[in-house]
Amino acid sequence: MYNLTKIEGGVCAAEGFYADGISAGLKAKMAKDMAFVYSDTLCEIASTFTTNKMTAAPIRHFKAKGEFQTNFVLINSKNANAMTGKAGIIDIDEILATLPKEITNPVMSSTGVIGVRLPKEKIIAGAKLFDLKKRDGDAAAAAIMTTDTFSKQIAYRIELDDGSSFHIGAMAKGAGMINPAMATMLCFITTDAKVDKDEMQNILSENVKTTFNAASVDGDTSTNDTVMLLSNAKSGAYHKEAFSEALYEIMRFLAREMVRDGEGATKLVTYEVSGAKNNKEAEIVAKALTNSLLVKTALYGEDPNWGRIASTVGASGAMADEELLSISFEDVCVYDRGELHFDEAMEKQASEIMKLDAFTIYCDLGIADGKFTAFGCDLGYEYVKINADYRT
Amino acid sequence: MYNLTKIEGGVCAAEGFYADGISAGLKAKMAKDMAFVYSDTLCEIASTFTTNKMTAAPIRHFKAKGEFQTNFVLINSKNANAMTGKAGIIDIDEILATLPKEITNPVMSSTGVIGVRLPKEKIIAGAKLFDLKKRDGDAAAAAIMTTDTFSKQIAYRIELDDGSSFHIGAMAKGAGMINPAMATMLCFITTDAKVDKDEMQNILSENVKTTFNAASVDGDTSTNDTVMLLSNAKSGAYHKEAFSEALYEIMRFLAREMVRDGEGATKLVTYEVSGAKNNKEAEIVAKALTNSLLVKTALYGEDPNWGRIASTVGASGAMADEELLSISFEDVCVYDRGELHFDEAMEKQASEIMKLDAFTIYCDLGIADGKFTAFGCDLGYEYVKINADYRT
């Protein structure tokens, strides 16, 4: 059939793609704060954006262009260019107008503080430092970070039966304002697969539902969320299932990494909800669990307080009944369809599981076949510290 | 017309009502943990309960009785009797069966940890300590507290033009799991007004929407939320507008007190949303603001980060446009329909306002006439501490 192999290189893993990160002085201490992704031929674009009605200028700028191909994405951190009105759009036009001639229909993407105009001169000066021949995926992934504590990238080589192969690589940033309906997350994916534009868009949109949109740090949806997939078709190779599977693996990996690196998070919790009336209700329950403050603080306290999970299921609005519900921490069933059998020994077992960096909470509603899996984290002092002090 | 006067006495302010709080050894250090409210004649009951589908046993027990009058409510803290199945119902029956003969159709109400059977023997022994002749509203209000840091009660005498008068008194507890769709809040209201049962229910239900259901500490809806209004008609007096206004004042006061005393809260913030497409959309925006973690942590940090308010408005799902939106902290307009005029001087002014214990954030969407006011608080380290350690 086909074979997926994880490889190095991030967004530069696919043929013909280049990337780098530099410091334009937006972040303190000369940290990298501007990145580019460049392809030496034009790319088709698939994308999904935030559902927030206060859509940031770069996204409005992108959408206003209609159908187009590009070979260049410029990304800055530290300033979101959101709530900046028409001026924010003009700033983008002025910045992009200064880019070198080999760049066609450039796209801009921003993340950072809302409600402050872009430091245009710094960004224009920063872009002049770009070397389009550089293939430094690490530097690019570092430059797009905000409160992320580690950079996030991944790439696959996909080998087909006929000996041909293609690549998909990606980088992402996350950390805060991460929530099930697209969040302050940026994700850039590059591929040399010879994939049809519409098919690429469909596969991307489908995968977003079960990856980035199933991930929540704090339930806040940002103004800037962007997932962008660029394809330059250079490999000449394609296989729908292989492409789809590799893309899913990449997006799922990055979504989980974003949650694992959520602001102040100490653990990654997977919520596998089953037995709901339908998949939609399972999704409602799973996302409610990722967003409940009482569940998140119990996770931080490593307290197997399953009552809060039951209460959150009940409050979610989904059809539920305490006589049908069961809840497990990994293989320890702490509540079984009305049976209160949670004793000290079980509490100890469950507490041990909660000390892990990553574990799964299973929640079966016992009603029908609906299921959904969501990714969440705990909420501790560090989240408060980061977000009470973010601007100052 | 009529005259409202605030008076002492809480739930004992109305004629014929008695209450007290005692220690049954449920809380540590002999703190009060059981309360009763007793009327020496039978009362009509109006009530609203949690929308959580994991409804606690006392609420299911109450609802199963259908139409009835009562003269006694027994309340315990420290254990919610939730997720306890049929056993939880039987426990209530067994406890209530031990009460003295002058008690008719007694009602039970519980708050505390979920998923643990009631300590039945302790509660039965505790109830034997009740003295039905006691009128100690303070003790009752203290006994129903969980993580509350102060007790909450209020009462009014309502004097009518014809020289007649009636009273309404109330106590409540709140602190955590407080959210716009009824939360772990208990509120007991007593009145000697000669009010029709159906009218009393309608006025109560109407007032809940703009008081308790407009208040949020953490967006989690509990299994036990209860608002109960008992009337024994002893005063023989009634006036619909006066009753309605006094009840609203009482419920609004208690709702705000609950938020002010929210777990770890340091400030009470009123969100006045106007200019929405309709009242429902204004409510969605106002409640989204009370529940946004990024807004709540910015409040805690006393950081006038209005971008997070704008982003939350945009993410709420309500119709909104950055060119029409304006945001003010009290009388300081920090963002005015697309105009970025937030400078250092204004930031200083807004920061000063945020240092207050209580203030209002105005959010005008500029679209139509929809409006709603919600009550929220900040989220700081103390919330995490309380909720990470609650059971242990």
- Are the C-beta atoms of residues B212 and B243 closer than 8 Å to each other? no
Which residues in chain B have their CB less than 8 angstroms from residue A83's CB? 307, 310, 322, 335, 340
Helix ranges (H only) for A271-354 are 279-291, 293-300, 306-315, 344-354
Find the residue in B nearest to A318 (Cα). B53
Residue B146's pLDDT band, with cuts at 50, 70 and 90, is: confident
Biggest CA–CA distance in chain A, Å, is 70
Please give the pLDDT value at position A179. 47
Please give the pLDDT value at position B392. 45
Distance CA B345, CA B341 (A): 10
- Are the C-beta atoms of residues B195 and B229 closer than 8 Å to each other? no
- Are the C-beta atoms of residues A3 and A161 closer than 8 Å to each other? no
Find the range with the poorest average confidence among A218-232, A337-351, B118-132, B359-373.
A218-232
Query: Is residue B179 pLDDT above 60, yes or no?
Result: no
Find the range with the poorest average confidence among A173-182, A350-359, B71-80, B368-377.
A173-182
Query: Is residue B181 pLDDT above 80, yes or no?
Result: no
Please give the pLDDT value at position B380. 85
Mean pLDDT across chain A: 92
Contact B220 A388 (CB under 8 A): no
Find the residue in A nearest to B338 (Cα). A85
Query: Is residue A390 pLDDT above 60, yes or no?
Result: no
Best mutation target, A216, A266, A294, to test chain B (most B CBs within 10 A): A294
Neighbours of B199 (CB within 10 A): 14
Name the DSSP class of A220.
P
Among candidates B54, B381, B388 on the partner chain, residue whose Cβ is nearest the Cβ of A314 = B54
The token duo for B189 is 């209201």
Please give the pLDDT value at position A389. 67
Identify the helix (H) or strand (E) that includes residue B205: helix B197-210
Residue B180's pLDDT band, with cuts at 50, 70 and 90, is: very low
Q: Is B360 helix (H, G, I), strand (E, B) or coil?
A: strand
A342 vs B: CB within 8 A: yes
Name the DSSP class of B147.
S
Q: Select from B37, B234, B6 the least CA-distant residue to B134.
A: B37
Please give the pLDDT value at position B219. 65
Average pLDDT for B163-189: 78
Which residues in chain A have their CB less than 8 angstroms from residue B49's CB? none
Average pLDDT for B252-267: 88
Please give the pLDDT value at position B174. 83
Distance CA A8, CA A156 (A): 8
Task: Residue window 155-194, chain B: list those with CB within 8 Å of chain A.
Answer: 176-177, 179, 181
Q: What percent of chain B has pLDDT over 90?
A: 78
- For residue range A9-42, list pLDDT tens digits in order: 999 999 999 999 999 999 999 999 999 999 999 9
Burial class of residue A341, CB neighbours in 10 A (0-12, 13-18, 19+): exposed
Name the more confident of A265 and A107.
Answer: A107
Name the more confident of A116 and A392.
Answer: A116
Chain-centroid distance, C-alpha B18: 21
The token duo for B193 is 């007004």
Identify the helix (H) or strand (E) that includes residue A190: strand A186-191
Confirm or deny that B263 is annotated as ligand binding. Answer: yes
**B221 in active site:** no
Query: Is residue A228 pLDDT above 80, yes or no?
Result: yes
The token duo for A48 is 């999904």
- For residue range B231-253, list pLDDT tens digits in order: 999 999 999 999 999 999 999 99
- Are the C-beta atoms of residues A140 and A150 closer than 8 Å to each other? no
Catalytic residue among B84, B184, B190, B270: B184
- In sequence order, the β-bridge partners of residue A168 are A156, A191
Please give the pLDDT value at position A175. 66
Among candidates B117, B312, B379 on the partner chain, residue whose Cβ is nearest the Cβ of A384 = B379
Chain A: give the shortest CA distance to residue B387, in Å: 6
Contact A113 B321 (CB under 8 A): no
Q: What percent of chain A has pLDDT over 90?
A: 78
- Are the C-beta atoms of residues B230 and B37 closer than 8 Å to each other? yes
- Are the C-beta atoms of residues A157 and A7 closer than 8 Å to each other? yes
Domains of chain B: 2-260 (3.60.70.12), 268-388 (3.10.20.340)
Please give the pLDDT value at position B183. 45
Residues of A with catalytic roles: 184
- For residue range B188-232, list pLDDT tens digits in order: 999 999 999 999 999 999 999 999 888 876 666 778 889 999 999
ipTM: 0.83
Q: Is A259 helix (H, G, I), strand (E, B) or coil?
A: helix
Chain A: give the shortest CA distance to residue B45, in Å: 25
Residue A113's pLDDT band, with cuts at 50, 70 and 90, is: confident
Name the more confident of B387 and A34.
Answer: A34
Please give the pLDDT value at position A305. 87
Residues with Cβ within 8 Å of A334's Cβ and at least 6 positions away in sequence, in order, are A304, A306, A327, A328, A342, A346, A350
Exposure b/e, B289-315, CB count within 10 A at least 16 = b: bbbbbbbbbbbbbbbbbbbbbbbbbbb
Among candidates B87, B220, B294 on the partner chain, residue whose Cβ is nearest the Cβ of A315 = B220
